[in-house]
Amino acid sequence: MTSSPSAADGAPAPRSHLFAIPDFRRLWLAGLTSFVVRWLEMLAVGVFAYQATGSAFLVAMLTMLRLLPMGLFGAPLGAFAERMERRSALIVIMASMMATSAAIAVLAGLDRLEVWHLAVAGFLNGLCWAADNPVRRMMIGDAVGPERMGPAMSLDVGANNASRMLGPTVGGLILATLGIAGVFWLGAALYAVGLVASLRIGTRSRPAAADAVSVLTRMREGLAWVRGDRRMTGVLLVTVIFNVFGWPSTSMIPVLGKDELLLGPEGVGLLAGVDGVGAFVGALVIAWLTRPEWYARIYLGGISLYLASMIAFAALPAIAGPVPELAAAALLTCGIGGAGFSVMQATLVYLHSPAEMRGRLLGLLSVCIGVGPIGFFYLGFMAEAFGAQAATVALAAQGLAALALTARWWRAVF
């Protein structure tokens, strides 16, 4: 691995000076542009598809198509990333997403856009999203060094959470004024900014292509290494629990806001943003105050706080009546817990894996994130059978139970 000149000038910079490292700034900017586009396009795609078909199920499936590649291709992408120069891979990723958004914008401008076009675009962009951990986030660790990976990931996750507040708001305004073509043209422009930032990255990785080891063999080696390392098994197991029993609960926020808290569309929109506010604040606090010896506790404490807060959010209307302020407080702590979990999952994988395994193990992390559709389907089934409120409480409670039952594995993370 060779570092950019600015990152190789002696003693490590303090964590507060991470943005003084040019390559970290460029990688962070590339991530920020991708995050913003992801959220604003998801809103526009949902609105367009619902207006075109009237099917809420189809809208959900379009969202799932963005997640599906993580579960299907996260492991091979992680292994394949080790055989590529990562800067070149990132440039290809950013250029591909820019071209996809521009193609959808052209189709929309010509009034030729169909729902299946959005499905294909969502799947292609999902492939690029699945490569984010083994490519861009791996490069962040290379740029800042292992000792600053925690704070660096905090700032990266903070950018993601800020985009959760900014993306839907901007997407809604543009959709109302310029239509879906305007949303995707903005997306293409933002991806162009990320592409320019990627082209200016000075860090180069040395591809592990000199040997004849196949991608499939690398995947098997990665899985075998995880099975033999209890810490990594614990980290990935907790990630699966969060994505099956935790994250899908957020899809019920609009439903509970309307039916249980008696809020209108504006109130539901504000309520949905509170989770992002908590996550943004939590990520920034972790970036500036945390220490490496706290990482495991933040990881486990984060998911526990998230699940407990989601139970409180769903159950409070039945206990205290429709009090939006209490619900918002629960979602705020939910966001803070989610930030602790999100920051530390990639950080712990990076720090607890040998350098030659990091790419494929970060790819396995993407697979664990990609199991989320299972949780969405399961929650939808329970909501149909028992109602949204009971289903949300049950899902999060099952997540806490799953944590308790798997303690023998995740205790090793400490």
What are the pLDDT tens digits along the chain (414 aa)? 434 433 333 334 445 578 889 999 999 999 999 988 887 887 778 778 777 877 656 766 777 777 778 767 766 776 676 677 889 889 999 999 999 999 999 999 999 999 899 999 989 988 888 888 788 888 888 888 887 887 888 788 778 777 776 776 677 778 778 888 998 999 999 999 999 999 999 877 766 544 445 556 666 666 777 777 788 888 889 999 999 999 888 877 877 887 888 877 567 767 777 887 888 888 778 877 777 788 889 999 999 999 999 999 999 988 988 888 999 999 999 989 988 888 888 788 877 777 777 777 777 787 788 788 888 788 878 887 888 899 899 999 999 999 999 998 888 777
0.75 cut: is pTM over it? Answer: no
Distance CA 352, CA 357 (A): 10
Query: 2: which strand partners?
Result: 204
Q: Are 4 and 202 in contact (CB under 8 A)?
A: yes
pLDDT of 112 reads 92
Q: Are 196 and 90 in contact (CB under 8 A)?
A: no
Q: Is 72 helix (H, G, I), strand (E, B) or coil?
A: helix
Distance CA 225, CA 229 (A): 6
Distance CA 364, CA 369 (A): 9
Distance CA 190, CA 115 (A): 23
Token duo for residue 278: 């908590």
Token duo for residue 150: 């925690």
Q: Going from the N-terminus, what domains does the chain have, and what CATH number goes with each?
A: 18-205 (1.20.1250.20), 214-414 (1.20.1250.20)
| CB proximity list for 224: less than 8 A, separation 6 or greater | none
